[in-house]
Chains A and B, each alone.
Chain A
Amino acid sequence: MSLPPFERVVAEHGPAVLRVCRALLGPADAEDAWSETFLHALEAYPSLRPGSNLRGWLVTIAHRKAIDLHRRAKRRPLAPEGAPDEPAPEGAPDGPRRELSEALAALPVRQRQAVTYHHVAGLPYAEVAELMGGSEAAARRAAADGIAALRKTYARGETP
């Protein structure tokens, strides 16, 4: 058994990794994080064991790249974020999804990560826990708390 051509890995997992990057960082930095993730993955790819869990591997890389980008952003001089009349960056989802990404961004980091890795990337809680550190139960709780919070903020105005 050998590794599939990398282009197939991108086709199969690229969209999910892009959703993960958007959920972790918002639309503006998501594409940089995606590019960094796949370049890093491409470099390491030949030494990957065939049959590895590619989705989990890529999301782990995206997780680290998102943390890097987040740290770098913090060192940048403060810019007003998400001013209401600011044009949406390229590739930004509009409409209700934009509000969702804002609601997601407002979550505490661990809740946002747990929701992203389980509900957006589709990783089982055991892998989410491995990625975030901590127990599976804690990962499950963080995701549940995150979803509960999203239901309050994101669903507001949609239900009477």
Chain B
Amino acid sequence: MMTAQGRRAPDARTPFAPPAAADAAAEARLLDRLGLEAQRRGLLDVAYRTLDTPVGSLLVAATAEGVVRVAFDCEGHDAVLDGLAERVSPRILPAPGRLDEAARQLDEYFAGRRRRFDLALDLRLARGFRQKVLGRLRAIDYGATATYAAIAAAVGSPAAVRAVGTACAKNPLPVLVPCHRVLRSDGSVGQYVGGHDAKKALLELEAA
């Protein structure tokens, strides 16, 4: 005699699914292998990883030319990856290898053991005036600060204080390009892409 189960139309989907735990391990292994092989074949346009820091989880992304993006949690990492897909290339995979050196230097910085970064940067996400501002920001030393007005004057556009503020707010490489070292003329901390608290935390770290 057939059981009720035997008479029922077979649910073809369920038994085809392997156990979830084994599957997750296989998928993680395959994703690692894909990232490595994509890099080897020159197909990995953007590699990224995340990094736990005292100012939250940072996303760090690099092209073959250098680090192209650093993003705070508050920017939404998914949204940041969407932006990279649109503006750089959709060939994006998590691939920690390319970011090892950047991660190491950022760790040292947050531990107070590094005062300048020695990394190749890809500035393609900031063109024209904004790229010029970023170049100027890179000249502000660890522990020092400047004002928006001083940066505007330094890039030859003393009236463009607001545009300098925008360039800082849209800095694609915060922390590495130290827009947190730019303050308002009245000495107040001002806005920051990673939030006011993150800016204060970075300034305090560098003042220690």
Q: Which residues of A contact B (CB under 8 A)?
A: 2-8, 10, 14-15, 18-19, 22-23, 31, 34-35, 38-39, 42-43, 45-46, 91, 93, 96-97, 100, 115, 119-120, 122, 147, 150-151, 154-155, 159-160
B91 touches A42 (CB 8 A): yes
Find chain A residues with CB under 8 A from B31 CB. Answer: 10, 14
Which of A8, A10, A15, A160 is within 8 Å of B1, CB to CB?
A: A160
Q: Would A93 and B22 be within 8 Å (CB), given that A5-B85, A7-B93, A39-B34 are in contact?
A: yes
Of the A-B pairs whose beta carbons lie under 8 Å apart in the complex, a sample of 20, sorted by A's number, is A3-B85, A3-B90, A4-B90, A5-B84, A7-B81, A7-B92, A7-B94, A10-B31, A18-B23, A19-B17, A22-B18, A31-B33, A46-B91, A96-B15, A97-B18, A100-B16, A147-B12, A151-B10, A159-B2, A160-B1
Find chain B residues with CB under 8 A from A38 CB. Answer: 30, 34
Interface SS majority for chain A: helix
16 additional A-B pairs beyond A39-B41, A115-B12, beta carbons within 8 Å, are A2-B86, A2-B90, A6-B93, A10-B31, A19-B16, A31-B26, A31-B29, A35-B37, A42-B43, A45-B90, A46-B90, A46-B91, A91-B26, A119-B13, A160-B2, A160-B6
Q: B188 at the A/B interface (Cβ < 8 Å)?
A: no
Find chain B residues with CB under 8 A from A3 CB. Answer: 85, 90
B22 touches A91 (CB 8 A): yes
Which of B3, B18, B43 is within 8 Å of A160, CB to CB?
A: B3
Q: How large is the interface on B (under 10, 10 to 19, 20 to 34, 35 or more residues)?
A: 35 or more
A2 to chain B: closest residue by CB:
B86
Find chain B residues with CB under 8 A from A150 CB. Answer: 10, 12
- The A-B contact count (CB < 8 A) is 108
B82 touches A120 (CB 8 A): no
Shortest distance from the beta carbon of B25 to any chain A beta carbon, whole Å: 8
Most chain A beta-carbon neighbours within 10 Å: one of B1, B18, B34: B18
Find chain A residues with CB under 8 A from B91 CB. Answer: 6, 42, 45-46
Find chain A residues with CB under 8 A from B46 CB. Answer: 5
Most chain A beta-carbon neighbours within 10 Å: one of B16, B46, B85, B91: B16
A35 touches B30 (CB 8 A): yes
Find chain B residues with CB under 8 A from A5 CB. Answer: 46, 81-82, 84-85, 90, 92
Which of A4, A43, A93, A159 is within 8 Å of B3, CB to CB?
A: A159
